[in-house]
A and B are shown apart, each in its own frame.
Chain A
Amino acid sequence: MPSSVEDQVAHHLAARARWRPLEYVFWLAAVASVFLLPGRHLILTEIAWLALFALSLDLILGYAGIISLGHAAFFGLGSYAGALLAKYGIVTEPVLALLVSGLCAAVLGFGTSFLVLRGSDLTRLMVTLGVALIMREIANQIPQLTGGADGLQGVIVGPILGMFDFDIFGHVSYVYCLIILFVLFVLARRIVYSPFGLSLRAIKGNSLRASSIGISVNARLVAVYTLAAFYAGVAGALLAQTTAFASLDVFSFERSADLLLVLIIGGTGYLYGGLIGAVIFKLMQDWIANLTPQYWQFWIGLVLVLIVLVGRDRFGSWTGGVRALAARMLRRFSGGVAPVPVPPGEGR
């Protein structure tokens, strides 16, 4: 029955990309938070742009295996671009400004992607860190444009689509960030399940073999690095628009390092890691800072050490466990998905 095997294979491949029940739960919870937690919209806004920023890092780290300690370079550029576009009235409509800011960051990403093509993880850590430091120093040296160490003041962001004005409670900000996050998430999700996304996972797994089956490894890495820079730039611009401010710390080393922590908490390589990590990280930060304002750094350090001691593999297997559970539930609910078909004569 060759045709039935083909149907099953096609079905199986299509099922990989289908939305799982837990994903619906996640996004319904996000929508519910808009209505159920109106007093928490300011921190939820921060969670939303941080989640987008972490999603950006997951695209290069979790899928293409490029580790970075300088992802704030793109976030920062997007942030200043977003603030400057609004301040000087170049692009007054926020969504369009977001796109332009993302494109600025993407140009920087494309330009610096060639630096991370070769070399070990250590080389990549140093190169990405260096790029972020350079960006910070450039911003520091042109205070007439960036406001230097004082930050960029006097930014007034126009209404979204000309209709929705930002308010001080963060209601509009949160809905705005959440919608942008969702749209870009869906796009990322589409990409990672495409042949392009599969080729990234192959490159991460074994770049020697990837080039031996005709994959242009460098071109794919440049493409995903540029895409991730776009995402990071949009996240930075969201920060600038929702706070009407940009300062040098958008480029800071701590921002890049925290981002890595966010992604490690949430787990890499399944897209939700950055989102879940952002929720946990921000809530933990908020909670600990309320308990002991001075010792926030201590606790975050402790968490970092614990995570490293427990091991990223363990975290991977936790998320793996969740995913396996989700897959089992999916199979039970949908009922009909046959497991591995064994044609006659193939059994061992």
Chain B
Amino acid sequence: MAAVLETVGLEKHFGGLTAVAGLSLRIEKGARHALIGPNGAGKTTVINLLTGVLRPSSGRILLEGEDITSLESYRRVRRGLARTFQINQLFLDLTPLETIGLAISERNGLGAQWWRVVGSNPVVVEEIVEILARFHLTDVMYERTGNLPYGKQRLLEIALAIACRPRVLLLDEPAAGVPEDERHEILATVAALPPDVTVLLIEHDMDIVFSFADRISVLVNGALFVDGPPEEVARDPRVKAVYLGESLDA
């Protein structure tokens, strides 16, 4: 299988601190890949490097074989690499309708249009409606995002990434902070993502990781510690020792 997203010797230093140390990661096309590791292992830094929020100190990032290491954030999105954030990053003053409409307009290259009114394109409207329905946001689509309950905001966070129609989706703890009774809604939508979208999931909750992932990479101190299918990673004594021990045996 071809790697759709790959890092080669990726490093990131913050002053004297090494957050990511020579990480070489391969994510196969169509994979459900989980990136796990103890607190401070550098998981979110990896996501920020992959999406271009941070620039690596050294190393390369390849998307579908092309070097995107020095590409700006927004250009990576246009090439099909989208993400969600661990802490919601939404447009609080816009409605879900406007938010999704904006993302779709941008993807279609209509974002710089300054003469037409938003939503005057029927194709865009059709897709807005479809995405809002898929993420259970239809009933709140006219409300200000800042006024929505947290669970709905979390759904919008994922819907917004999907509206970019990514080929590779990076999910940074999608269920973080969501109350127990709303969790299943989030996880169901994550599980229902189209199979051709490659997903890299960062997650603390081991139940979610093992129910979702077909491959797991364990990150420790910014380096790849173990990489393999879930059964293998779960059995690995080294993994148990550094990380999984308590959460698996509990």
Contact = CB atoms under 8 A, between A and B. Distances in A.
B103 A213 contact: yes
Given A6-B125, A194-B117, A196-B113, A211 B74 contact: yes
Interface in A1-31: 2, 5-6, 9-10, 12-14, 16-17
- Tier of interface size on chain B: 35 or more
B38 interface: no
Given A194-B116, A213-B82, A343-B139, A199 B102 contact: yes
Contacts of A220: 112
Nearest to A204: B93
Contact of A13 (B83, B103, B118): B118
Nearest to B110: A195
B114 A196 contact: yes
Given A9-B97, A9-B119, A196-B114, A206 B139 contact: no
Contacts of B143: 340
Interface in A199-222: 199, 201-202, 205-206, 208-217, 219-220
B16 interface: no
A193 B186 CA distance: 32
Nearest to A17: B117
Nearest to B73: A211
Given A340-B142, A346-B138, A205 B119 contact: no
B153 interface: no
Given A9-B125, A212-B89, A194 B163 contact: no
A212 B114 contact: no
A336 to B, nearest CB: 16
Contacts of A193: 117-118
A216 B74 contact: yes
A198 B77 contact: no
Nearest to A341: B138
A101 B161 CA distance: 43
Interface in B65-98: 72-74, 77-78, 82-83, 85, 89-94, 97-98
A202 B102 contact: yes
Given A6-B125, A9-B125, A208-B53, A198 B102 contact: yes
B97 A214 contact: no
Contacts of A210: 91
Contacts of A12: 97, 119, 142
Given A206-B90, A213-B163, A343-B138, A9 B129 contact: yes
B171 interface: no
Contacts of B118: 13, 16-17, 193-195, 197-198
A12 B128 CA distance: 13
A208 B78 CA distance: 15
B115 interface: yes
Given A6-B125, A193-B118, A202-B102, A212 B139 contact: no
Contacts of B94: 198, 201-202, 205
A13 B89 CA distance: 23
Given A205-B91, A212-B89, A340 B141 contact: yes
9 contacts: A14-B120, A193-B117, A194-B115, A195-B106, A201-B91, A205-B92, A214-B164, A215-B111, A343-B138
Given A196-B111, A198-B98, 6 more contacts: A9-B129, A13-B101, A195-B106, A214-B74, A214-B164, A348-B139
Interface of A: 2, 5-6, 9-10, 12-14, 16-17, 190-191, 193-199, 201-202, 205-206, 208-217, 219-220, 223, 339-343, 346-348
